[in-house]
Structure 1
Amino acid sequence: MYPFSIRINPEWTIDTQEGKTLSLSMLLGLLAEIDVSGNIVAASETCGHSYRHAWGVLRQFEEVFGVPLLITKRRKGTELSEFARRLVWANRRIQARLSPTLESLASESQEELEKLIPEHTPNVRLHASHGFAVEGLTQRMNSPQPLLELRYRTAIEALAALEQNECELAGFQVPIGKFEKPILDRYSPWLNSDTHLLIHLAVRNTGLFVKPGNPKQIQSVRDLARDDVRFVNRQPGSSTRFLIGLMLQEENIQTSAVSGFEDSEFTHMAIAAHIASGMADVGIGVQTAAHRFGLDFIPLVRERYFFALHRNNLQQINVEKFIHFMRSQDYQQFLGQLVGYDATEAGKIQTLDEAFND
């Protein structure tokens, strides 16, 4: 087994007029903590810096940017200036957008290097759309040693990769209720009841994200067509984008009537960050992301998330380890903490007929 795990993280740098390149990592960490605590001393301690050093960093970048980063109010602590607040939100959006992609690239690079190690045992290859249960599964299975190679793909891409034997497991979600059939029809070219089995992951709540207090009083999909509402969508090809299209079609609303329908993000967290930073009024995603960004959530549908695999791969030792871990107390406790997730049947193996023809 490879002796360490690869991680790839985004980093902000700026070039000054004096020709210096400065990293913003420390500054962004301090500003984020000050935003939470309203206290420079507490933020310094949380980030592992001395108070004096933290002040030095803040003053240095105030000179570089030419604007104040903090506003101190008598008896009310310290607040971020508008410039600093926008900087923090921009970093949160970037983290939300890039982290899954970088995680996928790190996993891919790890696997390529592991192939060069003597007596290498191939890891389980999982292709799946980004979600919190999938993210947590990967992080926990790959600590301290990698056992799972992850590629974030749309559900269609993941199922196509399974058909081409490019992965052992392919993740996809299916809404419960009236939209189940059209979604399944979309997946049907890559799912075969004779050759595939399903591993149940979780049931999750999907709906609309709106700003705290829902200032525009958005109540349903019909409100997306209002002139005063701006929407942010998931990326082309994603199942969530297809789902919102079905919902609009049911309401006889053309996608061209929805302002921002073509604006897209690649993760639930990026959708939430987009709205929380004021760039849109409403978006669609899983409830966990709305909760983490302090947004209000309007439920639309519950979705079941599955991993598909070939029947003849069920007895592979690494696939067995994967299923065993899904059923473990550690992972079950993690799933239980995800707002909007129900993992009662996590790790349950079903045929397609059992899952969809009851």
Structure 2
Amino acid sequence: MPISKTAHKIDIVPTWSFRDDQGRTLDPQLFILLRHIEKDKKLTSAAAKAGISYRHAWNQLNKWADFFGTPLVELEKGRGARLTALGDKLLWAEKRVIARLEPQLDNITSELNLELSRLLEGSRPSLRLHASHGYAVELLPRFAQGFELDLQYRHGQEALASLAREQCDMAGFHLPVEAIDSQMRAQAQKLLKPRAHRIIRFITRQQGLMVQPGNPLNITSINDLAREDIRFINREPGSGTRQLLEALMHRASIEVNEWLDSSGVEYTHSAIAAHVAAGMADTGFGVQAAASQFGLDFIPLAQEQYLLACHQRTLGMPAVKTLLSNLQSEAFSNEVDKLPGYRAEQSGEICMPDEILSGESGI
């Protein structure tokens, strides 16, 4: 099954604009150059990959050094190039901003592309999906072949509430693979009716603690979150990932205190990883794929099942039939396998709500 390619597609990417008190502005292409310098440690290859000449890259770095009053890159003969403290801080600031804004930008992108497609290609079968943000869900627009996917990111419980109000055709949420926490089960049972709804297995993913490379503070389990020397970056209240963490802490008899938010909160797995990678926290809770993306070590704590809920009648929609076929395809499985900690063995399997929501109280 070939991956869908749309002739006209918009991607929204945040860019920076720097202006000093004299009104001078500089080209945001700097971040492209800094990213390649960080990776390659050579200005020649970084300039080539940024699509500019070595001389232009050198001039840009000098202009930025003059603008900020301090260099962003240090060049040493025989040792290549490396970012200074300010250059490193700017690059991590960009990564954090992109990670934090990603769900909102993706929501707007989905709306614009849907409208653009309707204007240029006419009306096609559509599927409204409200879902918890995640790496595997981001793959779905590429497999929306023959129908329009209106993907909007919501917390899992918000997505299920949208489904109950018939504001979407399908809702994406996640639950632990092992016995489900009683509160999580009760929330889902309240919104999913055994006779009216069906659940489609999507993927499983590994959640755990992200730590600095080499794990210098020797963080090994959920119990280490109670240590006074650990700075923890938490997810926002209401997110499924935070609910899972608090359930794990409850099982380990660790009191959930406000100090867990002492380093602040972030709104995506990648934002958590960027926060830890920048040294602004010692650890954070999220998916393994995010830790891998930012070069962090990972301590697995729980496996989750990411699920798609819909009304029974929705299964007859042409778009849903196509989606199910694509979820069961080798092409989709191969893409999921590229995400560390993700698996798609049962993807596309249809279940009754009770099959998923039954189990003993506690994780």
Q: CA separation in 2, counterparts of 1:73 and 1:6?
A: 41
Tell which deviates more after alignment, 285-294 or 171-180.
171-180
TM-score of the two chains, using structure 2 as the length reference: 0.91
**In the alignment, which residue of structure 2 is the partner of 1:352?**
353
Shift of 1:112: 4.7
**In the alignment, which residue of structure 1 is the partner of 2:160?**
159
Shift of 1:29: 0.6
Q: CA separation in 2, counterparts of 1:187 and 1:355?
A: 10
**In the alignment, which residue of structure 2 is the partner of 1:280?**
281
Residues 243, 357 of structure 1: alpha-carbon distance in 2 compared, 3 angstrom cutoff:
closer
Residues 14, 246 of structure 1: alpha-carbon distance in 2 compared, 3 angstrom cutoff:
same
Tell which deviates more after alignment, 54-63 or 203-212.
54-63
Shift of 1:146: 7.2
Shift of 1:261: 5.6
| Aligned alpha-carbon RMSD (Å) | 2.2
Shift of 1:349: 1.4
SS in 1 for 2:257: helix
Q: Which letter maps to 2:31?
A: L
Counting only pairs closer than 5 Å after superposition, residues 123-272 of structure 1 correspond to structure 2 as: 123-138=126-141, 140-141=142-143, 147-256=148-257, 258-260=259-261, 263-272=264-273
Note the residue ranges of structure 2 that are not aligned, 5 or more in a row: none
Q: CA separation in 1, counterparts of 2:135 and 2:11?
A: 18
8 A Cα contact 1:227 1:259, kept in partner: no
8 A Cα contact 1:225 1:257, kept in partner: no
Q: Which letter maps to 1:96?
A: A
Shift of 1:107: 1.0
**In the alignment, which residue of structure 2 is the partner of 1:59?**
62
Q: CA separation in 1, counterparts of 2:355 and 2:188?
A: 17
**In the alignment, which residue of structure 2 is the partner of 1:75?**
78
8 A Cα contact 2:114 2:149, kept in partner: no
SS in 2 for 1:314: helix
Give me the identity figure in percent: 39
8 A Cα contact 2:124 2:147, kept in partner: no
String of CA shifts for 1:300-333, please: whole Å, max 9, x gaps. Answer: 1111111001110111111112212222232211
Note the residue ranges of structure 1 that are not aligned, 5 or more in a row: none
Q: CA separation in 1, counterparts of 2:48 and 2:62?
A: 18
**In the alignment, which residue of structure 1 is the partner of 2:11?**
7
Q: CA separation in 2, counterparts of 1:220 and 1:211?
A: 14
8 A Cα contact 1:92 1:273, kept in partner: yes
Shift of 1:164: 1.1
Tell which deviates more after alignment, 250-259 or 320-329.
250-259
Tell which deviates more after alignment, 174-183 or 215-224.
174-183
Q: CA separation in 1, counterparts of 2:305 and 2:257?
A: 29
Does 1:35 find its partner at 2:38? yes
Shift of 1:287: 0.6
Q: CA separation in 1, counterparts of 2:193 and 2:260?
A: 38
8 A Cα contact 1:211 1:275, kept in partner: yes
Q: Which letter maps to 1:129?
A: S
SS in 1 for 2:167: coil
Residues 179, 312 of structure 1: alpha-carbon distance in 2 compared, 3 angstrom cutoff:
closer
Q: CA separation in 1, counterparts of 2:225 and 2:348?
A: 37
